[in-house]
Structure 1
Amino acid sequence: MEKTIKFLLWTYLVLLIFEGALRKWVLPSLADPLLIVRDPVAIAIYCAALFSGRLPMNGFVITIIGLALASIAASFAAGQTNLLVLGYGLRINYGHLPLIWIMAQTLTRKDVERMGCFLLLVAIPMTLLMVWQFRSPMSAWINKGVGGDEGGQIFGALGRIRPPGFFSFITGPQAFFPLAAAFFLYQASGNRRLWWPILVASGLAVLIALPVSISRTAMIATGIVVAAFVASMPRAGIGFGPGFKALITLAAVGVVVSFLPIFSEGREAFMSRWETAASTTATGDAWSSIVGRILGGFTQPFQWAANAPFFGNGIGVGSNVGARLLAGRVGFLLAEDEWSKVFLELGPVLGAAFLGFRVFLTIHLGLRALRALFFDRDNLPILIFAAAAVPIALNQWAPPTVLGFAVVGGGLLLASLNPVIEEEEEEQEEVAEGTESAADEEPAEAPPTQPIRERY
């Protein structure tokens, strides 16, 4: 059953990355149902974990169940009677969260590193696709939105879209590349699992994708991962050894890449977007707009909370799906930012409880990662934390991609804390499990005696 759960977790990860391609190009007529294509996989994981006794019932999962039940009661008290909207809201806030702890119980450290290798390998075609989208006109088929919608992508700058790669929208690369950068820096610092040329190619793919994305969020989020890596270097024991020399070599190659035409084009578009953002502030400073946006994300929600109904407006009402079901149009019926939406959906008390849970979970993961760094000199958990902390605590969960990366990031972090099991030990455990299963079955009729050959 453990192999089944691992297979389903891999399926969840693959769909997380490629579900946008299914919705845009492969099956555009099924774009709406494919919005929840990972939900059946999550349900299958829960069933397999339940039957195998691997479904965790810790304090976090119990709290999730309690908050979900309270949200149902509050929604009915608020007069929210649309069960589809209610169910979709529960899916957003609570439906996928227990996967974090199932990943922690099922995946080994080597599984985490293998998933990291997969992300790095995907980064190469992802960047090539983004370059193609970046250089194509907004009306090109490669830049179609979900459901085959022409011009369905977000404008960036200089007549370019913000290329989403395989994802539905730019929110995908904003979450993908920081996590890919975390695994790249971990491997480049001396823990390599990929062949060196492939690792270099994946690192350069991340480097090129950031300016091409024309996304300040992607750039800053990846910068946070790099800052976490630099800060962790002394404690992780990364000195002037092979790992440090590898990073210096890669930095030199990065300088060469900076002279490539596509890098220059991406940088020009990114800086245009940066200057446009700066022009919206009174000081004309882009950093002021970023700081103001961050501070506003913390202050505005509490202003909404002060005016929100006690029981809120009902869970799911503030999502795009809720808007389509209730008002017949896609948009934000309540508020665009996540914390304001939560307060308006759940009310000031229950909303604060849910957001408090997310913040507490983020702090818990951060402390676990710091413990691994200081006591085990392991920097992989803190790098994953740097990539996943913002999606878990602050970002919108209504977009399926953001929710997926929040869950995957938290699960990979906890699973990376598991002790390293050598391949031989894993084989011995599999043999032992097979022996136990065979012992439970009825003994078969003994076969004819054959000469026994020793294996060497």
Structure 2
Amino acid sequence: MTVVELQSDRSTGERLPGWAYMLGLFFLLVIVDGALRKWVLPSQETLLFLVKDVVLWGGYVWYAAKRNPLELPRPLYATWVPFLLAVYLFVVVAQAFNIRQPSLLVSALGLKAHLAFLPVVVLLPALMVRVSERAITRFLWGYALLVSVPIVLLSIYQFSQPRTAWINRYVNPEASVARVGQFPRITGTFPYIGSFAPYLRFNAVLGASMVLGGLKWKRKSITALGAIVLGGTAIILPMTGSRSPVVIILIELVVLLFVMRGKGTGGLFLGLALVGGVIASIGLDNSILLRAWEALAQRAQGGMGEAYRRIMVRLSAPIEGLEEAGLFGYGVGSNHQVAPTFVGGATWEGWIGGDNKILRVFAELGALGWLILMALKIALLYVATQAVRRSRSAVEFILSATALCVLVGNVLRPVVYNVVSGALYWGAVGVMLGVWSLQRIPSGSSFASPLSRPTS
């Protein structure tokens, strides 16, 4: 990888390049992909599934036409991130040619799963130096009012409808709609519950970061906006019927508050959250919205033993993976959920299947590859922690804090088998690396970060 000078890309108020709009379209498609495949053009769902990849890589090629496509901001080369990222890329490509691979098509599938979203790690830092705090604030308002709130309203409507209603179908129309209590487990604009859950986790920590950033920098409008996003997410989160997102969000926020220790806003945030929860429980008494939390609580109480077993199985996955796959694994894609369709439905040596994604990734990469991936994730976490602590404005804090939470929630959880998780994870990485790099420019410099400049 080569070096890019941040100063050469300093925000000038010029129109954003075309690749930036394609990048935005990519993330929009990640969110609405399921709606298009379920309700708009279900007969073309496979083609629609690939559209977002074409858009992202089209934007990347556009960017590469004028810039080195492997550039990263200069300050990052003082960290281990570029080296570990390069080694991870090398390992994934090498594993595509693992002699134990069942098929070249499976290798291609593995390359897509592991690398398809990595262009955002290059594109987002390049975009960050072109935008101002005012522009990002407007974007957050637009996102909240035009994307987040409509998804909340759609989700409430889904929850109020029968499981057999068209609005509750999955991408696979033959799949039976799961339920929580007597209600359907909703999917919003996403194809399945497993895709909706990571989006809700992202939305929750984005809302919390906006509240915290608004409180610290006394930006009342941002605090209110964050309350809207966080409150709406809290309403629909239990409607998915998934227990793990609630636990993961709490862990992410605890880590964020620990990183923020001494900032003086953590206690106020917790107090406001508690008061808000009490008021909501009173105001929503006996409503369908409160019954979603009651149904989730009943499901959680009835499955404590199973939940504990699943946690222990996942924590022991590296040990089992070492015994199963050894140092070098079976190759990328060899444990992808759709890999058997590329070899006539057959299985092969090294096929594990099941829902233990940690074990499946370990089997693909082997012990060496898995350790490299973990080292990369830990290095990114360290940089994200620095970005949070060095934040000089509400916007810098919102971006870096949200990214930190996303990274914490996926430090052990693989993102290669879930499109939404992968897009949000690498997107968070790209934004965080951009913010961190801009923070390295002294505040008094004429090239200081446009994100830390006060708005008028």
Q: 1:182 to 1:113 in 2, by over 3 A?
A: farther
Matches of 1:333 and 1:33 in 2, distance apart? 27
Matches of 2:396 and 2:62 in 1, distance apart? 34
Q: Does 1:321 align with 2:338?
A: yes
CA contact (8 A) 1:36 1:400 kept: no
Matches of 1:11 and 1:255 in 2, distance apart? 38
Q: CA deviation at 1:234?
A: 5.7
Matches of 1:422 and 1:351 in 2, distance apart? 35
Q: 1:157 to 1:43 in 2, by over 3 A?
A: same
For 1:80-91, what aligned pairs fall within 5 Å after superposition?
A: 80=101, 82-91=103-112
| 1:337 corresponds to | 356
Unaligned runs of 5+ in 1: 281-288, 427-456
Q: 1:239 to 1:76 in 2, by over 3 A?
A: closer
Q: Does 1:211 align with 2:232?
A: no
| 2:207 corresponds to | 184
Q: CA deviation at 1:423?
A: 12
Q: Does 1:117 align with 2:141?
A: yes
User: After alignment, is 96-105 or 412-421 more displaced?
Assistant: 412-421
Q: CA deviation at 1:165?
A: 0.6
| 2:159 corresponds to | 134
Matches of 1:311 and 1:184 in 2, distance apart? 41
Q: Does 1:223 align with 2:250?
A: yes
User: After alignment, is 11-20 or 64-73 more displaced?
Assistant: 64-73
CA contact (8 A) 2:97 2:107 kept: no
Q: 1:109 to 1:168 in 2, by over 3 A?
A: farther
Q: Across the two proteins, how many residue pairs are aligned to each other?
A: 411
Identity, % of aligned positions = 20
Question: Partner amino acid for 1:130?
Answer: S
Matches of 1:163 and 1:329 in 2, distance apart? 33
Q: Does 1:97 align with 2:118?
A: yes
Matches of 2:430 and 2:364 in 1, distance apart? 27
For 1:30-429, what aligned pairs fall within 5 Å after superposition?
A: 30-53=44-67, 55-58=69-72, 60=81, 63-80=84-101, 82-107=103-128, 108=131, 110=133, 112-121=136-145, 122-147=147-172, 149-153=173-177, 155-188=178-211, 189=215, 190-193=218-221, 196=224, 200-228=227-255, 230-231=257-258, 235-238=262-265, 250=276, 253-259=279-285, 261-280=287-306, 289-290=307-308, 293-308=310-325, 310-328=327-345, 333-335=351-353, 336-372=355-391, 378=397, 380-391=399-410, 393-417=412-436, 418=438, 420-421=449-450
Q: CA deviation at 1:380?
A: 4.9
User: After alignment, is 128-137 or 411-420 more displaced?
Assistant: 411-420
Structure number, greater radius of gyration: 1
Matches of 1:319 and 1:184 in 2, distance apart? 32
Matches of 1:76 and 1:350 in 2, distance apart? 14
Calculate the TM-score normalised by the size of structure 1: 0.77
Q: 1:169 to 1:219 in 2, by over 3 A?
A: same
Matches of 1:319 and 1:254 in 2, distance apart? 42
Matches of 1:99 and 1:384 in 2, distance apart? 14
| 1:17 corresponds to | 31
Q: Deviations over 1:176-215 (max 9, x none)?
A: 223223332343334355695x665434312211222222
Q: Deviations over 1:312-363 (max 9, x none)?
A: 3221121122122224389x94243232112212333233333433343333
Q: 1:70 to 1:204 in 2, by over 3 A?
A: closer
Matches of 1:298 and 1:239 in 2, distance apart? 30
Q: 1:297 to 1:372 in 2, by over 3 A?
A: farther
Question: Partner amino acid for 2:165?
Answer: A
User: After alignment, is 206-215 or 68-77 more displaced?
Assistant: 68-77
Q: CA deviation at 1:400?
A: 0.8
Question: Partner amino acid for 1:163?
Answer: I
Matches of 1:248 and 1:310 in 2, distance apart? 48
Q: CA deviation at 1:392?
A: 5.4
Matches of 1:276 and 1:5 in 2, distance apart? 49
CA contact (8 A) 1:19 1:167 kept: yes
Unaligned runs of 5+ in 2: 1-14, 439-447
CA contact (8 A) 2:109 2:333 kept: yes
Matches of 2:83 and 2:260 in 1, distance apart? 37
Matches of 1:304 and 1:333 in 2, distance apart? 12
Matched position secondary structure for 1:270: helix
CA contact (8 A) 1:380 1:416 kept: yes
Matches of 2:260 and 2:180 in 1, distance apart? 36
Q: CA deviation at 1:398?
A: 1.2
Q: CA deviation at 1:8?
A: 1.7
Q: Deviations over 1:218-265 (max 9, x none)?
A: 212332344356546664343999x99977875565344442502222
CA contact (8 A) 2:30 2:52 kept: yes
Matches of 1:140 and 1:278 in 2, distance apart? 31
Matches of 2:453 and 2:396 in 1, distance apart? 24
| 1:285 corresponds to | none
